[in-house]
Amino acid sequence: MATPEAPTASAPAERRHGLWIFAIWLPLAVIADILIWFVWKPHMPPGTMTSSAEHQQFDIAFMAILCAPVLLFVWTYAGYALLNWHYRVGDEEDGPPIHGHAKIQATWIGATAVIVLGLFVFGTVELIVPAGAGAGEGPQPIWQPNTSHMLEVQVIGQQWAFSYRFPQFGGMETSRLVLPANTTVEFHVTSLDVIHSFWAYQLGVKADANPGVDNVAYTTTKNQLGSFTVRCNELCGLWHGAMFNYGHIVSQGAFRTWAQGMQAKESSDGLLSALPPYALTYDPTVIPQLGSSLVKIIGVTGSPGYYYPPQDPVTP
Nearest CB to Cu ion, comparing residues 236 and 249: 236
Report the nearest approach of Cu ion to the CB of residue 191 (Å): 8
- Give least dist CB 302 to Cu ion, A: 16
In the bound state with Cu ion, the residue whose beta carbon lies nearer, of 40 and 306, is: 306
Q: What is the rounded distance in angstroms from the CA atom of residue 173 to the CA atom of residue 308?
A: 10
In the chain, what's the furthest Cα-to-Cα distance? 94
**Closer of 195 and 254 to Cu ion (Cβ):** 195
Which of 55/231 has CB closer to Cu ion? Answer: 231
Q: At what angle do helices 17-35 and 51-85 cross, to 10 degrees?
A: 150
Q: Cβ of residue 195: shortest distance to Cu ion, in angstroms?
A: 8
Task: Tell the smallest beta-carbon distance from residue 236 to Cu ion (Å).
Answer: 3
| CB-based contact 188:214 (threshold 8 Å) | yes
Q: Least distance in Å: CB of 244 to Cu ion?
A: 10
CB of 174 to Cu ion, least distance (A): 18
* Closer Cβ to Cu ion, 181 or 207, answer by number: 207
The residues that touch Cu ion, with contacts defined as CB under 5 A, are: 196, 232, 236, 243
Q: Which is nearer to Cu ion, 55 or 176 (CB)?
A: 176
Q: Which is nearer to Cu ion, 188 or 196 (CB)?
A: 196
The amino acid sitting at 57 is: Q
What single letter denotes the amino acid at residue 33? D
Min dist CB 227 to Cu ion, Å, is: 20
